Chains A and B, each alone.
Chain A
């Protein structure tokens, strides 16, 4: 039995806006095992980024409000520890790679100084020691001329190079958990392929766990061991990556898989999920997917379904699989 490195229980993150509570993350639970890559997939506004930014308390509060639940990292509740303790975790035990490499690096510091900062702070290295470490890290993420690039500013580097620097920065203190929030979405496909391969290699060499957030099912298929599907602040399905692609159970997951264009098959016409992705301030009641779901019944609009556990850790939240079904007309 693998050990759980991170466990999130009944997490609720709300945003206060015009006196209204927007339930960005609405009572979700999941875990990440040691050495595992958990993929979180969902469309815009589904809460996939918010739920993982909450792990490091990176959301501005207000407007964000941690309205309930626990985030247990190695047994410690990240929502309860002091700011000082949190600083020791950030960038050290848990680090983040953001989507926009260009905007998430500090433009007025050299790449080397930014990476060294974390090492000096968390590991007590001297400046000189840190610089040697940084250069070997840059080589690890395959930056050519690392000795020169270490003294360059981010604007002189391309998007792919910046993202490598971000990865080097995230790995600087050998974290146990790496949160990658759409790390390749802003990159071209050929560069994306390089970065994904790099992340896979590094993962096996440092034995970290990864939370990989993306809207792209193709990237999920390449990277994830287990997949969490989110919709409008809720987790609707969890399963290992092969099951998600071969025997998804939730109507939303099935719709997502079917509506994706595929390079191998020539479908001609795509199947679609009708309707639109809901706004947080007008989220449907009950199961938030019910207005777009072909199989929805009266019960779906009233109450969010309980989790139904299938074999091998496949968990689905849908009335179709509960006793009584979706209800009668």
Chain B
């Protein structure tokens, strides 16, 4: 066991997917989905990972759980390296590391009732000895997650999107994990349901002492749930810090742009809002720009940004940004 304040540490993680072409499926290049990221998650806290489509946030979450094999790097969970585990050890470890998926419609087997969906893993990991124990345990967890006892015999199609996400959460929490990856867990839900699920995730965190890696493209949701925030762009963590640091003192130009681009709920002053608009689209992660990957869209870019990869500078305690101009810009 480890006594440090960190539950999970990711060191220099890389995940490259090969691009294959032709009849012989020759490897002609790599999509660098996650390209050398490092971070730590404290016990009982939430790290929010935010970024746009294709930035590698989902791949990062999955590689940490070894749902993808990493290209290189380490994930240390409770002092142990996840990637050095044997199959059997990994299976045991998975009871402690769970995931909640984005789409509550396609991530639940339509042929299984809630009992099986949630109870399956309990039986598989021999946490319960018989069906009666399983039923008790399933009912305990689903009622905590806001479903009723009667709903346990129903099938996924009999539930709405928000209720399905409650099933997904019950399933992840049934094994009493310490760490949960929430991959866009509220993105597919209606606004009024989103807030219910966010509150549920927070309540469960308080009750069970969970640590979350909360992946989302939505800054407003990230701000609500996170203690620390990492901003990803094209496979790299371009800025990292406490929620306070990221939202009140963003230092990377990309973080600034993201914050300014998010719609504000202030129709009265919308005409006077200052906002930097980005030119162009996100470049392909198969062929990322040289130097700083953001330089093609950055309004502050200078020659050095095209040539040299910026180092990850610590601006303040725990506040990092990958930008050459980090001390000159804001």
Contact = CB atoms under 8 A, between A and B. Distances in A.
A222 B261 CA distance: 11
B162 interface: yes
Given A188-B217, A277-B160, A267 B263 contact: no
B51 to A, nearest CB: 9
B217 A189 contact: yes
A188 B282 contact: yes
A271 B198 CA distance: 10
A259 B202 contact: no
Contacts of B268: 242, 245-246
A220 B202 CA distance: 28
Contacts of A270: 195, 198-199, 224
A158 to B, nearest CB: 5
A14 to B, nearest CB: 22
A16 interface: no
A274 interface: yes
Given A256-B191, A261-B224, A193 B160 contact: no
Given A190-B258, A267-B224, A274 B196 contact: yes
A219 interface: yes
B277 A261 contact: no
B190 A189 contact: no
Nearest to A41: B191
A247 interface: no
Interface string A187-198: 011111110110
Contacts of A196: 263
B280 to A, nearest CB: 7
A218 interface: yes
A43 B193 CA distance: 10
B288 to A, nearest CB: 16
A261 B194 CA distance: 9
A215 interface: yes
A260 interface: yes
Interface string A143-167: 0100000000000001011000000
Looking at B163, B219, B278, which has the most chain A CB atoms within 10 Å of its CB? B278
Given A190-B257, A191-B281, A277-B160, A259 B266 contact: no
Q: Interface residues of B: mostly helix, strand, loop or mixed?
A: helix
Interface string A220-240: 111010000000000000000
A189 B264 CA distance: 12
Given A144-B280, A160-B281, A256-B191, A221 B217 contact: no
A273 B161 CA distance: 15
Contact of A221 (B162, B163, B267, B281): B267
Contacts of A246: 268
A190 B278 contact: yes
B33 to A, nearest CB: 16
Given A190-B278, A256-B191, A274-B196, A245 B52 contact: no
A191 B190 CA distance: 22
Given A190-B257, A194-B277, A261 B195 contact: yes
Nearest to B196: A272
A276 interface: yes
Nearest to A192: B261
A217 interface: yes
B131 interface: no
Contacts of A222: 263-264, 267, 270
Contact of B191 (A144, A161, A217): A217
Contact of B264 (A158, A256, A263): A263
Interface residues of B, number: 43
B191 A259 contact: yes
B148 interface: no
B109 interface: no
Contacts of A244: 267
Contacts of A273: 192, 195-196
Interface residues of A, number: 50
Contact of A261 (B161, B196, B223): B223
A221 B266 contact: yes
B221 interface: yes
B247 interface: yes
A197 B31 CA distance: 32
Contacts of A224: 267
B262 interface: yes
A291 interface: no
Contacts of B257: 190
A277 B220 contact: no
Contacts of A301: none
A272 B199 CA distance: 9
A74 interface: no
Nearest to A227: B267
Given A261-B194, A261-B221, 17 more contacts: A188-B53, A192-B261, A193-B261, A193-B277, A215-B190, A221-B265, A242-B267, A242-B268, A255-B192, A256-B192, A261-B220, A263-B264, A266-B223, A270-B198, A277-B160, A277-B162, A277-B193
21 contacts: A44-B161, A44-B190, A188-B53, A189-B52, A192-B263, A193-B260, A193-B278, A197-B277, A217-B265, A218-B265, A221-B265, A221-B270, A246-B268, A259-B195, A261-B198, A261-B223, A261-B224, A264-B266, A271-B195, A272-B195, A273-B195
Interface of A: 43-44, 144, 158, 160-161, 188-194, 196-197, 215-222, 224, 241-242, 244-246, 255-257, 259-264, 266-274, 276-277, 279
Going nearest first, the 8 A-B pairs with the smallest beta carbon separation are A218-B263, A261-B220, A193-B261, A43-B190, A188-B52, A270-B195, A259-B195, A273-B192
